[in-house]
Amino acid sequence: MPAPQRGYETKQECVAVRGADELQIRSLIDKQQYADPDGEAAAAGFSSANWSLFGVLWPSARQLAAHMASRRMVAGERILEVGCGLALASLVCHRRGADITASDAHPLALSFLMDNLKLNDLPPLTYRHGDWSTGLCKAVHDRHPVVRGRFDLIMGSDVLYERDDCGHLASFIERHALPRAEVLIVDPDRGNRPPFVRRMAAIGFALSESPLNTPEDDGLPYKGRLLSFMREGEQAVTITCD
């Protein structure tokens, strides 16, 4: 579906999710799309090279959505998805009746989320601007409420894609996780996983891992793991740069 007035093109497709009904998803037509006429994305830290990544449906997002389709929902549980992108896992949880908040730092994430809610005849879903780096864009901050409060479950897929020497993601999780909380991260075996695991241990989270190798719709195997962190109580720590 071309959108020349926006400077980028999108497509709509029916996305199968293991253990759940299909979802209609609007996404960028490919990873070559880029449009930032007002410089908002650049101010938020998105270059032409990584601008499109939020709007692509990644294999790890499918894995997280499939996990959340079969995970037992707990009454009263508050869930936060970080780096949601197209928010496939959030949409699955929302359709199951969960109290879910989707969050991302990209200025267009909310627009795509609203379109995908309409495509699937779903009611509004809470969205908050969630930037775990220190360079929060004031323009985005002013326009979108930021993540506040604490959650029982924080989840994300392929969020360990770059070095995080100061542990911003772990610090963000610490600020928004309840004393007793669960964190689920689907990771395609990226090299940045070990430092993150160490930081999570420092703030009281114990890790269990499960291999993920279920093929996607195209039959290609997925190679990664589900990182499941559990914390039973608060632990005061300071996360420092490596």
Residue 134 belongs to some domain of the structure: yes
**pLDDT at residue 197, rounded to an integer:** 96
Strands 206-212 and 78-81: what pairing?
Answer: unpaired
**Secondary structure class of 210 (helix, strand, coil):** strand
**pLDDT at residue 137, rounded to an integer:** 42
Q: Is the pLDDT of residue 229 over 70?
A: yes
Residue 196 belongs to some domain of the structure: yes
* CATH for 198: 3.40.50.150
Average per-residue pLDDT in the chain?
89
Number of domains in the chain: 1
**More confident position, 66 or 235:** 66
**pLDDT at residue 54, rounded to an integer:** 96
Alpha carbon distances (Å) from 223 to 9, 30, 60, 87, 109: 30, 22, 9, 21, 26
Q: Are 126 and 165 in contact (CB under 8 A)?
A: no
- Of all helices (H) and strands (E), which one includes residue 102? strand 99-104
Tell me the β-bridge partners of 154: 80, 183
Domain extent for 190: 46-231
Q: Any alpha helices (H) in 32-129, and if so which ranges?
A: 40-43, 59-70, 88-95, 109-119
Residue 39 belongs to some domain of the structure: no
**pLDDT at residue 30, rounded to an integer:** 96
Mean pLDDT for the stretch of residues 109-114:
97
**pLDDT at residue 118, rounded to an integer:** 98
Q: Are 169 and 96 in contact (CB under 8 A)?
A: no
Residue 107 belongs to some domain of the structure: yes
Residue 79 belongs to some domain of the structure: yes
Residue 164 belongs to some domain of the structure: yes
The predicted-structure confidence for 23-34, as pLDDT tens digits, reads as follows 999 999 999 999
Residue 11 belongs to some domain of the structure: no
Residue 61 belongs to some domain of the structure: yes
Which tokens sit at 164?
Answer: 């995080």
Instruction: For residues 48 and 208, give the distance between their C-alpha atoms in angstroms, rounded to a whole number.
Output: 36
**pLDDT at residue 139, rounded to an integer:** 43
**Nearest residue to 105 via CA among 79, 78, 76, 134:** 134
In which band, very low, low, confident or very high, does the pLDDT at 143 lie, cut at 50, 70 and 90? low
**pLDDT at residue 134, rounded to an integer:** 55
* Dihedral over Cα of 225, 154, 53, 23: its sign: positive
* Residues in CB range of 68: below 8 A, 6 or more apart: 89, 92, 93, 96, 155
The predicted-structure confidence for 162-213, as pLDDT tens digits, reads as follows 888 889 999 999 999 999 999 999 999 988 999 999 999 999 999 999 999 8
**In the chain, what percentage of residues exceed pLDDT 70?**
88
**More confident position, 179 or 233:** 179
CA dihedral 168, 169, 170, 176 (to 10 degrees): 110
The predicted-structure confidence for 32-54, as pLDDT tens digits, reads as follows 999 999 898 998 889 999 999 99
* Dihedral over Cα of 125, 45, 26, 71: its sign: negative
**Angle of helix 193-202 versus helix 168-176 axis, rounded to 10:** 40
What is the tally of helices (H) and strands (E) in the chain?
7, 9
